[in-house]
Structure 1
């Protein structure tokens, strides 16, 4: 008798781990986006300069910037329902304007987001120096602080995305809470000389200095568009991503305008411009000391540091997901697309980004550069301009995309809003470019170099597209799809 042994079935190899899907709700995504903007840092560190240049009409500049970006979001979110890849900006641009523009946009996104994050390690070092000196009278070197920050941010990105969302939620509540505390003190005491709505009078808004205010205001929203990067990890992304985008724009626009108005009321319409010009770095600290108490000023110093950390973590997560998408496309090496089996995070992309940040930080330190005036401003500025250029290209891509597909979206969302947003964003980029010296404090030569980075990177991306089409046609064919 022949005995046939039963076949042992071999289990199919398990699929490689992917990102943790269905994890992020609307509030989680909004926390990432608003934290990237660093509201407390923007208000305490930049708004006084906007007031000194634009006068009491400065709050209206932040409202106008918010309205412009809300118009941009109309077409942007309409397209997000039809382009579902992880490439966000570059996928939209590739689908609307063609693959060469998309590859140029991909390179620009990587440089832009890295510039926005890596420069902020200089701010982390200088802000921590200021906080320690203010609270304890001690002086600490900035480099160890920045390096410790690199490790902390790497760990936050290494952990699961819901861990990062919880951390950012706590930090965002802290930084906005201290500004709300200031607002409560000013409103309860009626300001320095009563409460005034002169900030919104046309005569105070339509002044030459408003152009500079608008440049600062648009810069303050940088990173709000990163909602779509988290699409693969979102719950019901067709609803949560657009909601988070509108919440982020509305919150930032209204909160910025309200907080700047509060700062003006704390000194009075007649005195605030001089106060902001004489000592911009301490305008908010003086206001909260006067209307709340010295203990609140100490808390504000601490929360500025945590605000910077929140911004770094938010940008780090965004960069990792862009790198993951490009590795999936075959543009970056495949090993960068590895996902951690437990935390479901793009941990190799995070490690690569951290190493790049360390190299840049150490390079500026070795050159004897100032962490704020050079590492922050010189690295951030081309990053900011790069992201604004991406917004412009994405707005321009929307009507071209919808012309080529069958859809049920209205003409307002697919043509009118994107065209209006394109014009307004072009104006915004022009304002930032013509006032770039206010952002950098650098020489004309340095400013020209910084302005040239974004267009040079985009052109380099076009050259990369030409090379991919010739040498790797399969990779080129599937790019952006």
Structure 2
């Protein structure tokens, strides 16, 4: 139990999660079916072409390279606060405080932004099967409330719900892959999806990598479950590598088959002819397997987004909990439920924020996919890219100051983190400079929205400077 546990706080439910449960929690946040059916067609259509295939593979390699230094340092910094704790240890209190608030902003934005996708896909599903036209915001608000109830209870309840949903997502895509392989594709299989001929212009290529990285968001959150993990020093590294490899291979292989099935040279034209690009993968499923799979995928697409919302809500609630314990946000957030041992106060706050933002977009009459989802979720993507860049630098600084912790391990402590720093710094540059292309946000908003990250960082740095006791806690909260 944490040394900083507050009087009357029972802490999180220790020893309740193994490698499989934690892997499912973070992979659910990645929402594999959502990305394959929702993000993939949009990424290809927005000038990225089939470059998204090698981009997925390169991003998997980059995240694996990052994970080497990340889990190596995490073994020595036993704190479930994840990124901001490592940044504090390596780069000092000001950057640590900045990272804490950037992380809180990022995960809130991802959870809330995904609500902008959930509502419309529910509306489409209900209208398809019943003819009823229910407003999107009714589903988004209802999901936020239900997720609040699930997260308020024990974490293993959420893990079981997520486990069933994410396994079903993998199953339907793998069935589609198998159907494509068995039936074959026009002209036969080739290596065209991996060819550099599918690469777009240099300017569009940068946005392609941001799109690809966005599909991995959530994988890095394994350390948030350290307090609840069985043998965290073994479980967390294994879950991290398992999650990266599982989702990376899944994306890469499945994307190749789907691109092959559509035709490498004609896939962009096909997407341009669709009124709704989300129908693309469903149409492929209907063609190669049958209507039953297409219908099943439509239903699971809705549950996939729901699983993503639930997983990110769990991440956010834990950030509120740890930051509350450590004094970076109001301390009353740093308490768990007496019975369920869940971070229930963080859950309540996140739920209220989500309901308020969804209601504001609904009242304004804005398109939820093109605004709430595109604008807000991509703020989260940039937040995580910035944090992963800072973590990579922090790993190098930490082991430079403490070489005795990992003697004769330059690959883990210097080389891999340096490569990750360069890679993520480039992706961050592309994301910020091309935010208007990435999101479709008009000029002033394309500047204002990413600026929220800078504002959060400044507030966090000031908070850390004014509250040195909070920063000491960032370094003294053992699992």
TM bucket by the smaller chain? Answer: over 0.9
Shift of 1:382: 1.3
Tell me, yes or no, if the aligned pair for 1:157 and 1:350 is still in contact at 8 Å: yes
Q: Aligned residue for 1:343?
A: 340
Q: Aligned residue for 1:7?
A: none
Cα gap change, 1:479/1:25 in structure 2, threshold over 3 Å: closer, same or farther? closer
* 2:80 counterpart of 1:81: no
Whole-angstrom distance in 1 between the partners of 2:81 and 2:233 = 16
Tell me, yes or no, if the aligned pair for 1:102 and 1:480 is still in contact at 8 Å: no
Shift of 1:141: 0.8
Please state whether the residue corresponding to 1:46 is helix, strand or coil.
helix
Q: Aligned residue for 1:411?
A: 410
Tell me, yes or no, if the aligned pair for 1:25 and 1:235 is still in contact at 8 Å: yes
Whole-angstrom distance in 2 between the partners of 1:431 and 1:476 = 32
Structure 1 gap segments, 5+ residues each = 1-13
Tell me, yes or no, if the aligned pair for 2:65 and 2:416 is still in contact at 8 Å: yes
Cα gap change, 1:373/1:407 in structure 2, threshold over 3 Å: closer, same or farther? same
* 2:258 counterpart of 1:259: no
Please state whether the residue corresponding to 2:185 is helix, strand or coil.
coil
Whole-angstrom distance in 2 between the partners of 1:258 and 1:207 = 24
Q: Aligned residue for 1:229?
A: 224
Counterpart selection for 1:308 from 305, 309, 329: 305
* 2:378 counterpart of 1:381: yes
Q: Aligned residue for 1:106?
A: 100
Whole-angstrom distance in 2 between the partners of 1:476 and 1:54 = 42
Shift of 1:277: 2.9
* 2:28 counterpart of 1:21: no
* 2:166 counterpart of 1:165: no
Alignment: residue pair count? 465
Q: Which has the larger radius of gyration?
A: 1
Whole-angstrom distance in 2 between the partners of 1:16 and 1:463 = 28
Cα gap change, 1:402/1:424 in structure 2, threshold over 3 Å: closer, same or farther? same
Please state whether the residue corresponding to 1:339 is helix, strand or coil.
coil
* 2:274 counterpart of 1:275: no
Deviations 1:273-324 (A, max 9, x none): 2112332222101101111112211111111110011101111111111111
Q: Aligned residue for 1:124?
A: 118
Shift of 1:139: 1.2
Tell me, yes or no, if the aligned pair for 1:222 and 1:388 is still in contact at 8 Å: no
More moved, 273-282 vs 407-416: 273-282
Tell me, yes or no, if the aligned pair for 1:86 and 1:321 is still in contact at 8 Å: no
Counterpart selection for 1:195 from 175, 180, 189: 189
Q: Aligned residue for 2:445?
A: 446
Whole-angstrom distance in 1 between the partners of 2:473 and 2:289 = 58
Tell me, yes or no, if the aligned pair for 1:87 and 1:480 is still in contact at 8 Å: no
Tell me, yes or no, if the aligned pair for 1:339 and 1:348 is still in contact at 8 Å: yes
Whole-angstrom distance in 2 between the partners of 1:433 and 1:48 = 22
* 2:290 counterpart of 1:297: no
Whole-angstrom distance in 2 between the partners of 1:480 and 1:15 = 22
Shift of 1:145: 0.9
Cα gap change, 1:444/1:294 in structure 2, threshold over 3 Å: closer, same or farther? same
Deviations 1:143-182 (A, max 9, x none): 2211110111112211211111111110001112111121
Deviations 1:225-265 (A, max 9, x none): 00011011101111111111111111121111112112112
* 2:29 counterpart of 1:31: no
Whole-angstrom distance in 2 between the partners of 1:27 and 1:362 = 36
Q: Aligned residue for 1:246?
A: 241
Shift of 1:207: 5.9
Deviations 1:94-121 (A, max 9, x none): 1110011111111111111000101111
Tell me, yes or no, if the aligned pair for 2:328 and 2:464 is still in contact at 8 Å: no
Please state whether the residue corresponding to 1:140 is helix, strand or coil.
coil
Instruction: Normalising by structure 1, report the TM-score.
Output: 0.93
Tell me, yes or no, if the aligned pair for 1:39 and 1:307 is still in contact at 8 Å: yes
Deviations 1:298-353 (A, max 9, x none): 11111111001110111111111111111111222222122112221111111111
Tell me, yes or no, if the aligned pair for 2:93 and 2:465 is still in contact at 8 Å: no
Cα gap change, 1:148/1:352 in structure 2, threshold over 3 Å: closer, same or farther? same
* 2:175 counterpart of 1:177: no
Whole-angstrom distance in 2 between the partners of 1:164 and 1:132 = 25
Whole-angstrom distance in 2 between the partners of 1:330 and 1:434 = 34
Whole-angstrom distance in 2 between the partners of 1:425 and 1:246 = 18
Cα gap change, 1:57/1:349 in structure 2, threshold over 3 Å: closer, same or farther? closer
Q: Aligned residue for 2:432?
A: 433
* 2:421 counterpart of 1:422: yes
Tell me, yes or no, if the aligned pair for 1:199 and 1:205 is still in contact at 8 Å: no
More moved, 53-62 vs 256-265: 53-62
Structure 2 gap segments, 5+ residues each = 1-6
Tell me, yes or no, if the aligned pair for 1:49 and 1:277 is still in contact at 8 Å: no
Q: Aligned residue for 2:282?
A: 285
Deviations 1:428-464 (A, max 9, x none): 1122223323432221211111221212211222222
